[in-house]
Amino acid sequence: MLVKTILNRIHHFKGFVYTSVHYDSGVGIGRIVVDMAPRKNSRGCCSRCKRRSPGYDYLPERVFEFVPLWNIPVFLRYRPRHVSCATCGVIVEELPWATGKSSLCNCFRVFLAQWARLLSWKEVSARFRVSWYMVFDSIKHVVNYGLEHRNLEDIHAIGVDEIAIEKGHKFATVRVAAYFLNCRRSPAHSISPARRPSSPLDSVRSPALTFRCRVAHGQNRK
Ligand SMILES: [Zn+2]
């Protein structure tokens, strides 16, 4: 099966086609380069209002790193278009496989973030030949996506706790959905409105949210 066929099955985007795939050994380490182009007569999508708009001109070529194949780096190569949007004016088209100015495909960012759950960020960067910052950026991308699409409708109580992150007295604050907490049985100080302006719970908005509390454990739990 050809690489192009596999890509069309697993990473296909309406309005774009894979035109060619070749192995490039001219830049030190070998890499697979996949050329992409807009489908004939397809219109680009405005990156701001997402409306299909007529093309205006082309930007310089960009490469986007994709998930490696047989541990060989894979790059998608594409020349983005400017589109003339009736609302937003001349603007860069939306690229469904990448976000903003990132040189990594979204699927490769998810891939790196998943590995970062198993290995240290440094190990992930060494294993997949990317910078430490790219691993960090990938995790940030996945976390931001999760925050934008999270559903808080079923959360009735939320708590704040601290976990030790290093030896000594270094702690990180974490927010936990407190389905399991019996807030009424906790000591008085653990049931707090937590409405201080800097409270980490203030940003959580849910119509069902009734309790904001501090998680009590150890000798504080009754
Ligand atoms: Zn627009």
Using H for helix, E for strand and C for coil, what is the string for the chain? CCHHHHHHHHCCCCCEEEEEEEEECCCCCCEEEEEEEECCCCCEEECCCCCEECEEEECCCEEEEEEEECCEEEEEEECCEEEEECCCEEEEECCCCCCCCCCECHHHHHHHHHHCCCCCHHHHHHHCCCCHHHHHHHHHHHHHHHHHHCCCCCCCEEEEEEEEEECCCEEEEEEEECCCCCHHHCCHHHCCCCCCCCCCCCCCCCCCCCEEEECCCHHHCC
* Half-sphere CA count of 188, side-chain side, radius 13 A: 0
For range 135-163, the mean pLDDT: 82
Q: What is the pLDDT of residue 210?
A: 66
pLDDT at 110 over 50: yes
Q: Which residues pair with 175 in a beta bridge?
A: 160
Do strands 31-38 and 16-24 pair parallel, antiparallel, or not at all (unpaired)? antiparallel
Domain boundaries, the chain: 3-149, 157-220
State how far the Cα of 95 lies from the Cα of 218, in Å rounded to an integer: 51
Cα 54 to ligand 1 centre (Å):
11
Q: What is the pLDDT of residue 176?
A: 62
Cα 16 to ligand 1 centre (Å):
19
* Torsion of the alpha carbons at 102, 103, 108 and 112, rounded to the nearest 10: -70
Percent of the chain with pLDDT strictly greater than 90: 50
Q: How confident is the model at residue 66 (pLDDT cuts 50, 70, 90)?
A: very high
For range 24-44, the mean pLDDT: 88
Q: What is the pLDDT of residue 206?
A: 63
Q: How confident is the model at residue 186 (pLDDT cuts 50, 70, 90)?
A: very low
CA distances 70 to 3, 15, 76, 138, Å, are: 12, 28, 16, 21
For range 123-142, the mean pLDDT: 93
Q: How confident is the model at residue 180 (pLDDT cuts 50, 70, 90)?
A: very low
Token representation of residue 202: 């203030």
Cα 81 to ligand 1 centre (Å):
14
Task: Kindly list the protein residues that place their beta carbon closer than 5 angstroms to ligand 1, a single-atom ion.
Answer: 46, 48-49, 85, 87-88
Cα 97 to ligand 1 centre (Å):
19
Cα 99 to ligand 1 centre (Å):
16
For range 112-123, the mean pLDDT: 94
For range 54-75, the mean pLDDT: 92
For range 122-141, the mean pLDDT: 93
* pTM of full prediction above 0.75: no
pLDDT at 47 over 80: yes
Lowest mean pLDDT among 19-33, 117-131, 185-199: 185-199
Question: Which residues, including other chains, have CB under 8 Å from residue 30's CB and lie 6 or more apart?
Answer: 23, 24, 72
Cα 43 to ligand 1 centre (Å):
13
Q: What is the pLDDT of residue 71?
A: 87
